[in-house]
């Protein structure tokens, strides 16, 4: 399998530091993450149990490189490869023989006939395809949502391997998810084209989470690149800003593969205006970048509620960006990145908004700070 080094241009880095980047920078990050996954798979292939599957994967790549990259880009493959490679390196229990599922999916997509020995598992899932019958590899395809020319899969990770700490719904109500996601996409495509372009490059899978009693839940797991875990939102606009928020996390995950932005963590914790609990430095950086994207979303939307959200999150993100810059725990590259964020946010915080929106945003921020201080 081909593993290629990937570099990010100075122009793309600068654009990403401003919360932007567009399709070009997002594509570079996606390709960099694919290279990482390929390297991990090659490491796993050194285990004797994985060698037959790896040979099949190489054969499939010769027949159809695109088929193999489609499978490698599936978030479950990245999560499995990371988990397995780390376990092998630490001499901990691992299942490198599960590379057979990746190879089989690639062979099916490439049209390469093969006989594969599979390990015993409770649910036989082929990444990017669906749950299969091990006897003949017939599979129930994952449901899809068409977003213009882009297609997202809805995947509840039936084969397991969900990153720790995330709750996933038992199944997908496709009849509800398709129109809801399509409506959110329409908001992004019509009103925020650069955000839509980034989402189309970065996200391939949505994984439904159980409904949240307190509102919409969403998450991005670093090892499951390309997947957004979320519950349905009450309206298209809320789902659209949730997707924009998680796309920011996805960009930063891949960027931090390429560049060290933080010095070694000393376990200090910091106030985050969007959380009820304190955050470590990495969490503060991620939250700042995500809320830079949230502020960008609300900045151009009409109405008092949108202006209130814009005022709230531009100020919150600037506050934490300044905290990061003052922490003396950023690398030189990290300092340049956060400076890019802060420059944008300072300019935005000087923009006028409706006085009532500013008053509401200020009151919300103060109430949150008081709750946090009183914990």
Which pLDDT value is given to residue 342?
Answer: 98
Mean pLDDT by 10 residues, the chain (375 residues): 77 96 95 95 97 97 96 97 97 96 97 91 94 88 93 95 93 95 97 97 96 85 97 95 97 95 86 91 96 98 97 98 96 98 98 97 95 85
End-to-end Cα separation, the chain, in angstroms: 53
Place of tokens 């531009």: 314
Q: Which helix (H) or strand (E) holds 321?
A: helix 304-326
Which pLDDT value is given to residue 227?
Answer: 98
Q: Going edge to edge, which strands form the sheet with 205-208?
A: 144-147, 150-154, 205-208, 227-230, 218-219
∠ Cα 122 125 130 (to 5°): 140
CB 175 within 8 A of CB 208: no
Which pLDDT value is given to residue 2?
Answer: 67
Residue 327's nearest CA partner among 373, 261, 273 is 261
Kindly write down the DSSP assignment for every residue of 279-297, as one continuous string.
Answer: EEHHHHHHHHHHHHHHHHH
Q: What is the pTM of this model?
A: 0.95
Considering Cα of 280, then 282, then 285, then 289, what sign does the dihedral take? Answer: negative
Considering Cα of 283, then 153, then 71, then 81, what sign does the dihedral take? Answer: positive
CB 92 within 8 A of CB 139: no
């Amino acid at each position: 399998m081909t593993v290629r080094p990937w570099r990010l241009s100075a122009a793309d880095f600068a654009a990403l530091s401003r919360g932007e980047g567009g399709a070009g920078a997002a594509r570079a990050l996606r390709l960099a993450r694919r290279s990482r996954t390929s390297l991990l798979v090659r490491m796993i292939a050194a285990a004797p149990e994985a060698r037959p599957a790896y040979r099949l994967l190489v054969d499939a790549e010769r027949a159809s490189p695109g088929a193999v990259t489609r499978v490698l880009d599936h978030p479950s493959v990245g999560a499995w490869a990371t988990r397995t490679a780390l376990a092998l390196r630490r001499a901990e229990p691992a299942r490198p023989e599960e590379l057979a599922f990746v190879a089989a999916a690639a062979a099916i997509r490439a049209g390469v006939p093969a006989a594969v020995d599979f390990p015993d598992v409770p649910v036989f899932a082929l990444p990017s395809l669906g749950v299969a019958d091990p006897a003949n590899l017939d599979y129930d395809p994952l449901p899809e949502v068409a977003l213009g020319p882009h297609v997202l899969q809805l995947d509840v990770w039936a084969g397991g391997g969900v990153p720790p700490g995330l709750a996933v719904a038992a199944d997908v109500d496709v009849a509800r998810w398709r129109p809801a996601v399509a409506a959110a996409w329409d908001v992004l495509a019509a009103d925020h084209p650069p955000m839509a372009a980034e989402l189309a490059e970065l996200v391939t899978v949505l994984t439904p989470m159980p409904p949240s009693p307190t509102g919409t839940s969403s998450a991005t797991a670093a090892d499951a690149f390309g997947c957004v875990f979320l519950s349905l939102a009450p309206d298209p606009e809320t789902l659209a800003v949730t997707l924009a928020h998680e796309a920011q996390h996805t960009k930063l995950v891949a960027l931090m593969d390429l560049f060290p932005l933080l010095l070694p963590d000393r376990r200090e914790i910091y106030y985050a205006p969007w959380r009820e609990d304190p955050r470590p430095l990495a969490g503060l950086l991620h939250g700042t970048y995500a809320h830079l994207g949230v502020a960008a979303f609300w900045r151009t939307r009409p109405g008092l509620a949108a202006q209130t959200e814009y005022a709230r999150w531009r100020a919150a993100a600037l506050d934490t960006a300044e905290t990061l810059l003052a922490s003396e725990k950023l690398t030189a590259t990290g300092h340049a990145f956060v400076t890019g964020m802060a420059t944008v946010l300072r300019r935005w915080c000087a923009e006028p908004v409706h006085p009532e929106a500013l008053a509401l945003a200020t009151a919300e921020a103060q109430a949150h700070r008081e709750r946090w201080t009183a914990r």
